[in-house]
Amino acid sequence: MRVPDVAARVVFDAIEKSYGEQKAVDGLSLDIAPGEVVCLLGPSGCGKTTLLRLAAGIERPTGGRILINDVEVAGPGRFVQPEDRGVGLMFQDFALFPHLTILENVAFGLKALSREEARRAALRILARVGLERYGEQYPHILSGGQQQRVALARAIVPRPAVMLMDEPFSGLDVQLRDAMQEETLALLREARATTMIVTHHPEEAMRLGDRIAVMRAGKLVQTGRAQELYLRPAALFVARLFSEINEVAYRVSGGRIATPIGSLAAPGAAEGETVTLCLRERGMDLAAAGANGRANGGGLVGRVKTAKFLGDAVRCEVLVEGFEAPLNIRTSAGAGIEEGSEVKVLIDPAQALVFPSSDDKVY
């Protein structure tokens, strides 16, 4: 594999893309470091694919600039054609050429090399993905997962400085997806390709991305490492993406809300405004209640309404003193956690999140 001397930095500078009245990308700025893997995460229609197509040069922005290694590839006065950008693409509906052998499919993008060099490079990458013995066969004999490997090999063998991947694992079953994700990440690291991966799945984004960029309605809501997004989500919308949460509405008084776990700050909320308290299902715990049914040693008194065994955890609906609706709580505690039992509910106020309810607009 030929390794480029300089990995590419990709910069989106106030990028806009409109289709008529519809703003698919709306003033988005993002700076991707050389060799970094960034996952674009967000609901359907938020502009993820459009951003990739803009980076690839398949679409032209209606505003802003895109730079690859400080060279403007799209902007008001300039547009570099896709084939001159050094980008590799792997889209969900990757199509292998049915009339070409697997080796020819992989060698397809290696036009700059001699036939023999291209063949050798294609064989090397096929070996890397464990498919060298299929080189002279045609794509139809391969399974879906094997075809996907060939598509990955084909995309990466020309050594693109930038890899753009749109839902590359969506067609695979869970086991194959795990294996392909690992393999892809290893290949991308070896190639030192700066990579953007579009996904709908938070877990996939956490697993693959050095950084995750969360989009909504054409804008970036938050970018950061997985832990940052999980622990300090900038909006209710982001909190919902990364963990199962309970949401309880409170009215703000004196910049705070009065909850059963104490008075909590409601930053940025106006007096009298309704805010949402978020408690992660995995951020609380249950213990068997003391002999008198009281929550000795801290915690709130609760009664288990339902308990569902999920293997490594039990998901309970618990009626907790001070809360009107039951809270969903996932616990690994086993003994004494049964439907109808009295429990002690342990909630760490430091783990509670409070967001303006206006953040919850429909998208």
Q: Could you list the residues that contact ligand ATP (CB under 6 A)?
A: 19, 22, 24, 42, 44-50, 200
C-beta of 194: minimal distance to ligand ATP in Å?
A: 20
C-beta of 334: minimal distance to ligand ATP in Å?
A: 40
Question: Residue 229's beta-bridge partner residues?
Answer: none
Separation of alpha carbons 209 and 170, rounded Å? 16
C-beta of 38: minimal distance to ligand ATP in Å?
A: 15
C-beta of 94: minimal distance to ligand ATP in Å?
A: 15
Residue whose CB is less far from ligand ATP, 50 or 148: 50
Instruction: Give backbone dihedrals phi and psi of 216, rounded to 5 degrees, phi first.
Output: -150, 135
C-beta of 9: minimal distance to ligand ATP in Å?
A: 23
Closest C-alpha to 281, from 234, 317, 235, 306: 317
**Angle 327-330-334 (CA atoms, 0-180°, nearest 5)?**
120
Residue whose CB is less far from ligand ATP, 20 or 272: 20
C-beta of 49: minimal distance to ligand ATP in Å?
A: 3
Q: In what order do the strands lie in the sheet with 194-199?
A: 87-91, 162-166, 194-199, 37-41, 211-216, 219-224
Residue whose CB is less far from ligand ATP, 19 or 79: 19
C-beta of 201: minimal distance to ligand ATP in Å?
A: 11
107 half-sphere exposure, CB direction, 13 A CA radius: 20
The single residue listed with the structure tokens 């013995």 is 133
Residue whose CB is less far from ligand ATP, 79 or 363: 363
**Angle 188-192-198 (CA atoms, 0-180°, nearest 5)?**
45
C-beta of 198: minimal distance to ligand ATP in Å?
A: 6
Q: Where are the alpha helices (DSSP H) in the chain?
A: 48-56, 102-107, 115-128, 144-156, 174-191, 202-208, 226-231, 236-242
Residue whose CB is less far from ligand ATP, 25 or 316: 25
Between the CA of residue 220 and those of 55, 141, 162, 269, what are the distances in Å? 16, 42, 21, 22
Q: Which amino acid is at 177?
A: R
Residue whose CB is less far from ligand ATP, 44 or 175: 44
Separation of alpha carbons 183 and 305, rounded Å? 44
C-beta of 342: minimal distance to ligand ATP in Å?
A: 46
Residue whose CB is less far from ligand ATP, 91 or 230: 91
Separation of alpha carbons 55 and 135, rounded Å? 32
Separation of alpha carbons 213 and 1, rounded Å? 29
Q: What is the DSSP string of 174-240?
A: HHHHHHHHHHHHHHHHHHT-EEEEEES-HHHHHHH-SEEEEEETTEEEEEE-HHHHHHS-SSHHHHH
Residue whose CB is less far from ligand ATP, 48 or 159: 48
Residue whose CB is less far from ligand ATP, 42 or 135: 42
